[in-house]
Amino acid sequence: MELLNALKWRYATKKMNGQAVSQDNVNAILEAAHLAPSSSGLQPFEIIPVYHPLNNAKDVYKILYYS
């Protein structure tokens, strides 16, 4: 899969271009994250996709923990 090959190359994004990510790519990213091993092997994490344009991490925190 082309997306998984791209994910193998690591790059820290400094700036987003504002273009929406396709639902197919979101699904593939979520699947790859779901299959990724954790340090304990139990995958004790939760992935919450955010589909709303936000200004910064503080906005995400407010939505997740105060709504």
Residue 23 confidence (pLDDT) above 80: yes
Helix, strand, coil abundance in the chain, percent, nearest 5: 45, 0, 55
Question: Domain limits of the chain?
Answer: 2-66
pLDDT digit string, tens, across residues 4-21? 787 777 667 667 777 888
Identity of the highest mean pLDDT range in 4-8, 40-44, 50-54, 63-67? 4-8
pTM of the model: 0.53
Number of alpha carbons in the 13 Å side-chain half-sphere of residue 46: 3
Distance CA 40, CA 37 (A): 8
Q: Element (H or E) spanning 46, and its range? A: none
pLDDT band for position 42 (cuts 50, 70, 90): low
Nearest-angstrom CA–CA distance, 28 and 1: 9
